[in-house]
Homo-oligomer: A and B are copies of this chain.
Amino acid sequence: MTAELWLTQLHENGYRLTDARRAVVEIVEQSTRALTPVEVYDLARKKYRALGLVTVYRTLEKLEELHLIQRVHQPQGCQAFVSAGHGHQHLLLCQNCGRVEFFDGDDLDALTRYIAQKTGYQINEHWLQLFGLCMDCRKN
């Protein structure tokens, strides 16, 4: 249902609504895994046969620009995307099935103050990511 919202966002930012974009948005928005451009291409082509891979790249670029999706960095590679988190959130990734969750509530203030003091750095931001096994994959 949020797919509609993404399309609205695109439209409000002066982008036209096309079948190609609709297909890409629908796939990426409802995925619980991070998807690479080719994966998006393969899946979206089931909805819209004529889709070109170039258009997938171009659409992902725009969705990232509008902060609707974000790139996911992993040991296996850094070319995959997921729906963006809201506010200050971090990723939790399943090492087996690739499932992606967001979490918040981390408090690194004490740590960053300590490191800043110790190193002389002014610390502006942080990346935090947890890896593990999701409930489903633990059963195997």
Contact = CB atoms under 8 A, between A and B. Distances in A.
Interface of A: 73, 78, 92, 94-95, 101, 103, 105-108, 111-112, 114-116, 118-135, 138
Contacts of A131: 123-127
Count copies of this chain in the complex: 2
Contact of A129 (B92, B119, B127, B138): B127
Contacts of A120: 134-135, 138
Given A124-B95, A127-B128, A131-B126, A119 B101 contact: yes
A133 B129 contact: no
Contacts of A106: 108, 111
Contacts of A103: 115, 118-119
